Amino acid sequence: MINALADFHSVFGLPDQGVRAVCTTRQAGSSQGVYQGLNLATHVGDDSEVVMRNRERLTHQFDLPGDPLWLNQVHGAQILEVDQTPL
């Protein structure tokens, strides 16, 4: 169960342009095993239905008007410039 906003921390964004970014903890969520908690990644081998349920919780927690665009976080030096066109 998600514990109000204590589990989520808004860190940056461009609210005047409709862009909002957040950083989450893994203290809430439905994922089990090595993905235990609030895994939001579809590319790591977790059960996709559980990941979708975690994403729905996050979307509901922030009362978003629609489905967000999800990013795949990687550790590296490549920079991606985002324009107004979703991929």
pLDDT in tens, 2-45: 454 444 445 566 767 777 777 778 888 899 999 998 999 999 99
**Angle at 19 (CA atoms; ends 17, 24), nearest 5 degrees:** 160
Ranked by mean pLDDT, which of 10-14, 57-61, 71-75 comes out on top? Answer: 57-61
Higher pLDDT, 85 or 1: 85
Cα–Cα distance between 39 and 27 in angstroms, integer? 10
- Greatest Cα-to-Cα distance within the chain, rounded to the nearest angstrom: 39
Give strand pairing partners of 20: 13
